[in-house]
Chain A
Amino acid sequence: MTGQERVDRMFHRREQDRVPRHESFWAETIERWQKEGLSGDTRAVLDMLETDFHQLCWMWPAAFPGEEEIVSQDEETKVVRDAQGKLVRYWKDKSGTPEHLGFECDSRQKWEKVFKPALLDSGLQVDPEATKRNLAIGRKRGRWCFMAGVESFEETRSLMGDEITMIAMAEDPEWVRDVSKTFTDVMLRNLDACMGMGIAPDGLWIYGDMAFNHATMCSPKMYRELIWPDHKRLADWAHVHNMRFIFHTDGDVNGVMDLYVQAGFDCLQPLEAKAGMDIRRLCPKFGKDLAFFGNIDVMVMVSNDRGRIEQEIRSKFEAGKATRGYIYHSDHSVPPQVSWETYRFIVDCVKRYGRYS
């Protein structure tokens, strides 16, 4: 059974030989593992895991693509004016989310006069030719091939910052609605350009963190009114093109699960355990409508305790396999506190408990 067939069967809740698999890692994790005996890089680990997934492209439309500039730097960090026109501080030698220092798009007037026209005028921000080439590679490997990008809530926060975005959600919802709709229009334009190459990927995997450790950032009602219509548009677009729709969000999204089902999402990833997401509870309730992708707690992984890790994988695989709608992934990205020896043990457990026979 190829990865493409396996994941496709998973989405149809049909018989599979084993649970499909994929994983994400911090860059520092791979560096640690290389010192502990890993030969190769991220790709070598994914090959060892026997991943079933293959990414074709990445889309994060910006208002000023190609206009990034370094404003200042010190030994550890650099301050960059990025393609959204905002100032961000990045680590030079470490991965992780950057610090946001200032947002140029801080009023509705600036959005309407500067940023919206720039975004609409920004042209293609994906390489359709490369996407097509990557699809050929993915097909050769027999993997489930997906296009990937960012949804409008993440985009809006990236453009305007959390504080301006969330105050606007409360005080000027029409502005946020317009930003969300415009970003989604641009995103769909990029996706259409890829499809114009005559390709037929298997899925669309969209990223956008909607929540933190005990709730969604905004209320379900606000999400339904301001952002959800564009999430639904993306899911609808995928379905029109005979693709599945995977949605990535960190945090506790228990309060909006029904809205995800209504929007037609096919799969939710990565299901952050420390934020209260637990497929042992979610599978019986939503497993018919939604596939679940992840949920293996990185906080358990970092304990490097084989007993706890095995129990985590065994119990969650049991819940996931009961619906046939489950894919292995950590509940975030594997952090560098996990030793190479531990991760090889994790892969062994995934292979052992992932069999359907």
Chain B
Amino acid sequence: MVNLQNLADAIKVGNRAEATKLTRQAIDEKVGAKEILEAMVGAMDEIGKKFQRNEVFVPEMLIASRAMKESMAVLEPLLVKAGIKPAFTAVIGTVAGDLHDIGKNLVAMMWKGANFGVVDLGTNVSPEKFLAAAKEHKARVVGLSALLTTTMPAMKQTVAALRAANLAGLKVVIGGAPITQEFATEIGADAFAPDAASAVEMVRKLMVA
């Protein structure tokens, strides 16, 4: 009988062959989709915490995320059948004028690993595009990334555009190398995430609040 702890361990060390094999085995053995999903999300949570503590680094996080993604693809039909969907959708992108994507990609990866629905708009995203995507996908969260001090004003403009639209319950999380909590407060963002793992925790807190 499959041991879901082994599945979680395979994801944590980025062993995608083992992770997908154990996912299939769990499905074959009629383990519930929710139970399998929780094992996977728990594994990614642990990786996120280790990343925060500098116990694992980007390479380890990438291979764990890939193992998670491939296992999720195996599980997807069962999730659909069971009517299990991500509780909410988050839109993410790098703000206008900024072409950097490493930080944004890591956050998107961690959000997917936490089973948030993620719409990645890419880089150099205008306030109008963020707003349109938030409306289209009925997003509960918008994540804004900026690496440059020169693009921080674009972050402020995007937050202003989202606030002006008055979308019910929408939360804005910001991050990036030059971003601080002070800046987040100043521009009216709901939270500042200093790293990819914190971005998961921040969103969970915001969704509960």
Does A353 sit within 8 A of B, measured CB to CB?
A: no
Measured between alpha carbons, how far is A162 from B103 in the docked complex, in Å?
Answer: 11
In the complex, chain A residues 27-55 whose Cβ is within 8 Å of any chain B Cβ: 28
* A167:B59 contact, CB within 8 angstroms: yes
Chain A residues near B105 (CB, 8 Å)? 163
Chain B residues near A214 (CB, 8 Å)? 54, 194-195
Interface window among B41-49, B79-87, B93-101, B154-162: B93-101
Q: Which of B59, B63, B147, B178 is within 8 Å of A222, CB to CB?
A: B59
* A218:B59 contact, CB within 8 angstroms: yes
Known: A99-B99, A212-B103. A335 touches B59 (CB 8 A): no
Does B166 sit within 8 A of A, measured CB to CB?
A: no
Q: Which of B58, B103, B194 is within 8 Å of A166, CB to CB?
A: B58
Chain A residues near B101 (CB, 8 Å)? 99-100
Known: A217-B57, A275-B177, A299-B178. A163 touches B149 (CB 8 A): no
Interface contacts (Cβ under 8 Å), in number, total: 80
How far does the Cβ of B163 sit from chain A's closest Cβ, in whole Å?
A: 23
Q: Report B96-127 CB contacts with A as 1/0, cut-off 8 Å.
A: 01111111010000000000000000011000
Chain B residues near A357 (CB, 8 Å)? none
Does A58 sit within 8 A of B, measured CB to CB?
A: no
Of all chain B residues, the one with the shortest Cβ separation from A29 is B150
Measured between alpha carbons, how far is A216 from B99 in the docked complex, in Å?
Answer: 21
In the complex, chain A residues 197-254 whose Cβ is within 8 Å of any chain B Cβ: 212-219, 222
Does A263 sit within 8 A of B, measured CB to CB?
A: no
* B177:A212 contact, CB within 8 angstroms: yes
Q: Which of B150, B177, B195 is within 8 Å of A26, CB to CB?
A: B150
Of all chain B residues, the one with the shortest Cβ separation from A217 is B58
How far does the Cβ of A61 sit from chain B's closest Cβ, in whole Å?
A: 23
Does A257 sit within 8 A of B, measured CB to CB?
A: no
Of all chain A residues, the one with the shortest Cβ separation from B94 is A99
* B59:A337 contact, CB within 8 angstroms: no
Interface window among A14-22, A64-72, A89-97, A103-111: A89-97
Does B62 sit within 8 A of A, measured CB to CB?
A: yes
Chain A residues near B62 (CB, 8 Å)? 163, 166-167, 170
Of all chain A residues, the one with the shortest Cβ separation from B183 is A299
Does B76 sit within 8 A of A, measured CB to CB?
A: no
Known: A26-B150, A213-B194, A218-B57. A170 touches B99 (CB 8 A): no
Measured between alpha carbons, how far is A212 from B148 in the docked complex, in Å?
Answer: 13
Chain B residues near A337 (CB, 8 Å)? 149-150
Known: A166-B58, A214-B195. A336 touches B177 (CB 8 A): no
Measured between alpha carbons, how far is A335 from B177 in the docked complex, in Å?
Answer: 14
Does A117 sit within 8 A of B, measured CB to CB?
A: no
Measured between alpha carbons, how far is A275 from B180 in the docked complex, in Å?
Answer: 11
How far does the Cβ of A2 sit from chain B's closest Cβ, in whole Å?
A: 34
5 inter-chain pairs at a CB distance below 8 angstroms, sorted by A residue, are A96-B98, A217-B59, A222-B57, A274-B180, A302-B149
Give 16 new A-B contacts, CB below 8 A, not counting A96-B99, A162-B102.
Answer: A89-B99, A99-B123, A162-B58, A163-B62, A167-B62, A212-B177, A213-B194, A214-B195, A215-B54, A215-B57, A217-B57, A218-B57, A218-B59, A219-B59, A222-B59, A275-B177
Using a CB–CB cutoff of 8 Å, the interface residues on chain A facing chain B are 26, 28, 77, 89, 91, 94, 96-100, 162-163, 166-167, 169-171, 212-219, 222, 255, 272, 274-275, 298-299, 302, 335-337
Using a CB–CB cutoff of 8 Å, the interface residues on chain B facing chain A are 14, 54, 56-60, 62-63, 66, 97-103, 105, 123-124, 147-150, 177-178, 180, 194-195
